[in-house]
Amino acid sequence: MNIRHILTAGGLAVLTLGSSAGAQVIGGDLNINGSSDDVHFFGGQMRINGEIDGDIFAISGDGEIDATVNGNLEVFGGDLELHGLVMGDVDLAGGDIEVTAEIRETINVGGGSLQISGPVHGELNAAGGSVEIGSTVGDDAHIAGGYIRLTDASSIAGKAEIIGAEVHMDGRFEGRISIEAEEVVLSGRFLDEVEILAEDVRVAAGAEFSAPLRVRGPSEPVIEAGAVVPDYSYEEEGFNFGARHWNKVDFQIDGPVRLMGSPEKFFGATFYGLSFLLGVFAVLLTPRGVGKIARTFRSRPIASMVLGFVAIPMSIVAMVMLTVLLAITIIGIPLILLVWPLYPWVMLLGFAFGGIVIGDLIFNRSHAERGLGLAMRSLSLLLVLVALFALSQVGAIGIPVAFLTWAAGLGAWMLSFGNNNQDETSQRSEPPRRDPEPEIEAEPDPA
């Protein structure tokens, strides 16, 4: 069992043991036909039918869900099938994934082969080796993959951002389209501007554009007869997504510095990579604690950043004082050897919490009281850290932004320790109600 499996199992165990009443199963196969509460599962094969009056969280082998889910759904497993209706958000990660269910909110899917054909009322985010979309999407779509196809049954009401090796667009697209790929084939109907950066672009017969088509790449696109393209422009650019145009590729390796990048870039990438791993570790093991830190920063952002700003330099002073106190006693000397190696990891975890709280603030604007799911919280952390790493290449901007993120995470972490009693007090603020005592009527004395 590798470390990823250990972390995943540990995170689910903490979540399951700390949850309230619901269907909680660890080990074996799962077969549920309806539930009046949440479903938490960690085990082998999974099959869920009927109506689930709550959320579903599962880490399983292959799974099939054909149910009406009145809450959110998060499943990590092998091959997955989702049918029926989901009233909340959907997070899926696995091998081959098929989704025909109606999704009332946002869906996030990652896997080897994806087939999504059910209607999505919210936003669609999908990434995989092969991605086929036949859904009507009521909001924006973000798609990444090796082979991407949006069938003629697909429809996207919002904007779409697509990155892939081979992209086929056959549906109806009402918003602005941005595509970056090796090969692009357009045969659908496009009502807003389409911008493409690709090596090869082909506009098939039957394609219809009601807005400008902008193409950039090393070769001019092929527009077949029968395509309706009233406004079209092309700009030559040395783009090598699949490295087909070798004559325009500058491919040289001059020693380890050219291979790994400059030392500051290499160690910077290591710093952000370790921060991401620590953040995911914390999200999996203590999802409630991480959620409390995110809520603390959301409710007290200024106090969190001020406290973190003070705590970062003062932590060194505190460590020196602690070392002196421990050195006075014989038993404290071994503790010094334990405390100092832990110090940089604690500070690094504070930076990871900064990425988590910033990601929660950006990506959780509509359901702040519920918090993000495990998958979405990890994804938001990754996106924030990638953005911070990109900004770190610009010293005048990146360093202050990274320091503020660090201060926000460390300060919110420290303030969250003081919210334990407050949460419990708020739950007990209303005095307990007692049932009225029954009135006993006295019987009249006999005459």
Query: pLDDT by residue (tens digit) across 306-357?
Result: 888 888 888 888 888 888 877 777 677 777 788 788 888 888 888 888 888 8
CA distances from 392 to 51, 354, 383 (A): 48, 15, 14
Please, what is the angle between helix 395-416 and helix 332-363, to 10°? 110
Query: Residue 195 has what pLDDT?
Result: 95
DSSP string, 418-430: GGHHHHHHHHT-S
CB-side neighbour CA atoms (13 Å) of 44: 5
What is the per-residue burial (b if ≥16 Cβ within 10 Å, else e) of 225-237? Answer: eebebeeeebeee
Measured between alpha carbons, how far is 417 from 341 in angstroms, rounded to an integer? Answer: 23
The segment with the largest mean pLDDT, out of 32-41, 115-124, 365-374, is 115-124
Q: Return the higher-pLDDT residue of 244 and 428.
A: 244
Please, what is the angle between helix 263-285 and helix 3-17, to 10°? 40
pLDDT higher than 70, residue 267: no
Stretch 151-175: mean pLDDT: 94
Measured between alpha carbons, how far is 280 from 93 in angstroms, rounded to an integer? Answer: 15
Bridge partners of residue 116, in order along the sequence: 99, 133
Banded pLDDT at 4 (limits 50, 70, 90): very low
pLDDT higher than 60, residue 216: yes
The segment with the largest mean pLDDT, out of 24-38, 261-275, 278-292, is 278-292
Measured between alpha carbons, how far is 374 from 365 in angstroms, rounded to an integer? Answer: 16
| Two tokens, residue 82 | 């989702």
pLDDT higher than 80, residue 254: no
DSSP string, 170-197: -SEE-S-EEEEEEEEEE-SEE-S-EEEE
Q: Are strands 90-99 and 80-86 parallel, antiparallel or unpaired?
A: parallel
Banded pLDDT at 180 (limits 50, 70, 90): very high
Bridge partners of residue 97, in order along the sequence: 80, 114
pLDDT higher than 70, residue 290: yes
Measured between alpha carbons, how far is 401 from 410 in angstroms, rounded to an integer? Answer: 14
Rounded to the nearest angstrom, the gap between the alpha carbon of residue 416 and the centroid of all alpha carbons in its chain is: 23
Find out whether 245 and 183 touch, Cβ atoms under 8 Å. Answer: no
Cβ within 8 Å of residue 63, ≥6 positions away? 45, 46, 47, 48, 75, 77, 78, 79, 80, 81, 94
Average pLDDT, the chain: 80
Measured between alpha carbons, how far is 366 from 175 in angstroms, rounded to an integer? Answer: 22
**Please, what sign has the CA dihedral across residues 417, 423, 426, 428?**
negative
CB neighbours of residue 89 within 10 Å: 25
Q: What is the pLDDT of residues 43-70, one digit of tens each?
A: 788 899 999 999 999 888 889 999 999 9
pLDDT higher than 90, residue 177: yes
**pTM beyond 0.85, yes or no:** no
What percent of the chain clears pLDDT 90, i.e. is strictly above it?
37
Q: What is the pLDDT of residues 366-385, one digit of tens each?
A: 665 666 777 778 888 888 88
Burial of 323 (0-12, 13-18, 19+ CB in 10 A): middle
From the list 372, 358, 362, the residue with the least C-alpha distance to 401 is: 358
Query: Residue 427 has what pLDDT?
Result: 43
**Please, what sign has the CA dihedral across residues 243, 249, 253, 259?**
negative
